[in-house]
Amino acid sequence: MRNWKPATAVVLGCFVIAAIIGTALASEDAGEETRGDLRKFASKEEIEAFLAEHAQGGWSDGGYTWAPGATKQENVMDAPAPASVPSAPTAAHDYSTTNVQVQGVDEADFLKNDGKYIYIISGETLAILEAFPEEDAKIVSETRIDGHPTALFLAGDRLVVFAATTEEQMTAVEGSVTPVPVWRTVTHACVYDIGDRRNPERVRTLTFTGDYYDARMVGDYVYAFTRESPVWVRDEIVLPEVRTGSAPPLRPDVYRPESPLQNYVFYTASAFSVRNDSGTPDAETFLLGYDTTLFASQKNLYIGYRNTGSAYFSGTPSDSDDARDRTIIHRFAIEQGKIDYKAMGEVPGHLLNQFSLDEYAGNLRVATTVEGWTREGSVQYNNVYVLDPEMKIIGTLEHIAPDERIYAARFVGDRLYLVTFKRIDPLFVINLSDPKHPGILGKLKIPGYSDYLHPYDADHIIGVGKETSENSWGGVSTRGLKIALFDVSDVNNPVPVDTVVIGEAGTDSEALRDHKAFLFVKEKDLLVIPVSEVKRMENPSSSYPGSYSTTTWQGAYAYSVNPASGFTLKGTVAHAEKGPSYSWNSPDAVRRSLFMDDTLYTVSARSIVMTNLDDGSRINEVFLPYRWEAYPTPYPVW
């Protein structure tokens, strides 16, 4: 660490739902069950007829599912898998956990810790490190995981690991004497008993067809979501399945929205307990589009998916004209692993990510961007809506920041902080204290933009993004990584307290894309940001004035944060001092950080470095069982 001073203190989304409970309403014309905008298919043949008529092409993002004799799609593509709390007496006194959107709702990640052990997916291995005390840190077990492990949950002495792989299934096809082999991507949820950290015991395996997409855990209940494009064998569809151990597969009921979509993907949602080693998980399948977003509170799950037509407006934008760019949102109540469908709503525009949704006092708040075309040209603006428990719009604030789109949103109590961008960064402070009458309180315009917003306290908010400047062509150029602290105590006049810019153009951080890479603990006066820094190296020997080259530094920056003085650099932790100018995929790039008592742990694909938070001294480094050469892709598989 350098310049260290003593310390002074998650589209596609898909949470599409499991186990729809309640009394079905029968459609008089088709005899099908409906739930708001969702209608259950009555048979496999009906699914086949629907897809043959409506599907315009499946979603794909690498990987494949292939079946001999396929006529609908010759190659069907599937995506590849990729706060501080008290601890047990034998562990650290306090430690950080995953940075989640909603307290009490855990989000799956490739790394978890309990104040004594770190559990990490390293390549195709589940590694468990005895990380506390830090000076004796070591790996105590390595467990090979079949396929490509992607994420995990920790619940006491239970660990759930999600891993995607491909497997051959023999499928019976009408007109064929023998079953036809079909290769499909499947996701395994492997439940381990880790009472003995040196010898994890797998006690249960659940299998879901499709790629792992996302998961949440509330209490001891996991809600896992997988997705797959429709797979055809000749003229027959191969339906999603859920399996527990060697038990016969379960084929969940399949639902679809009434509103037509441009593309269709199967999403399967399953709920199971990490404590119960028997029984069949609740599961349902939904045929939705690929631009889907999940938000979960402790009591409800919300699924939002884009419902687009041509996105062509008939004239000047109005409440009716923007109907072609809309988002449908479903609400499901959750309790003890059961999911009960409640209501649906619809709002103009589309969502940026999960932070575009928030639940407060029983209402759902939503931030969207509307994009489309009129006869006069393109249209772009932003909206905020408040929906009641019945998913009816009760509050509206529209046409915010014309010709800009949302870059970041964060709901905090009865406020919304909204960042839009085109040439400069407007930070809007929006009042939601009266849900029926949201309004703009104030805004601040400064260069650059924020991709992620994090509350510091009731009157201050931290932004992480990029600095920008005008270039010689009259456009905007992106510069280094930017961290900003905003004072919003005077809501009508938000002001910047301090701004830090790290590195040259090209400097990057995983915190820009994944909030789980952001570590902030106000009680410890600690902010840690992973940084892949592009540094300028002057070339004094060159005959050209101002000649320079660049190199990349991999590590993390640690700051103390104070509303009075802004950011104070505590120090930096280096994982790699020099590298190629563009090495965003370096195994030394820091992806996560955490603390146990007064030790900072920074995590890259290659190693975990332990640093003393008081004086910045390097304590230890543990190398992970990750092998870069084992992966032919240009990025590591986590």
614, containing H or E segment: none
Q: Tell me if residue 359 falls in helix, strand or coil.
A: strand
- Determine the pLDDT at residue 269: 85
- Is the per-residue pLDDT at 69 higher than 70? no
pLDDT single digits (tens) 133-146? 999 999 999 999 99
Average pLDDT over residues 400-427: 90
pLDDT single digits (tens) 176-225? 778 888 889 999 999 999 999 999 999 999 999 999 989 999 999 999 98
Split at pLDDT 50, 70, 90, the class of 531 is: very high
- Determine the pLDDT at residue 548: 66
Average pLDDT over residues 154-183: 88
Rounded Cα–Cα distance for residues 38 and 164 (Å)? 28
- Determine the pLDDT at residue 36: 65
- Determine the pLDDT at residue 245: 83
The percentage of the chain sitting over the pLDDT mark of 90, rounded to a whole number, equals: 60
Rounded Cα–Cα distance for residues 175 and 255 (Å)? 28
Per-range mean pLDDT, top range of 10-14, 84-88, 269-273, 620-624: 620-624
> How big, in percent rounded to 5, are the helix, strand and coil portions of the chain?
5, 55, 40
The residue type at 383:
N
pLDDT single digits (tens) 541-555? 666 666 667 889 999
pLDDT single digits (tens) 593-606? 999 999 999 999 99
555, containing H or E segment: strand 548-562
- Determine the pLDDT at residue 333: 86
- Is the per-residue pLDDT at 93 higher than 50? yes
The residue type at 95:
Y
pLDDT single digits (tens) 243-301? 998 888 899 999 988 877 778 899 898 999 999 988 788 888 988 877 789 999 999 98
Rounded Cα–Cα distance for residues 436 and 388 (Å)? 10
Split at pLDDT 50, 70, 90, the class of 82 is: very low
The model carries a pTM of 0.86
pLDDT single digits (tens) 2-23? 455 444 433 333 333 333 333 3
Q: What is the DSSP string of 237-260?
A: EE---EEETTSPPB---EEEESS-
pLDDT single digits (tens) 369-399? 999 887 788 899 999 999 999 999 999 999 9
Evaluate whether 591 touches 604 at the Cβ level (below 8 Å).
yes
Longest dimension (CA), the chain: 84
- Determine the pLDDT at residue 88: 53
Average pLDDT over residues 63-81: 35
Helix, strand counts (H, E) of the chain = 1, 46
- Chain centroid to CA 621: 29
Rounded Cα–Cα distance for residues 54 and 50 (Å)? 6
Split at pLDDT 50, 70, 90, the class of 91 is: confident
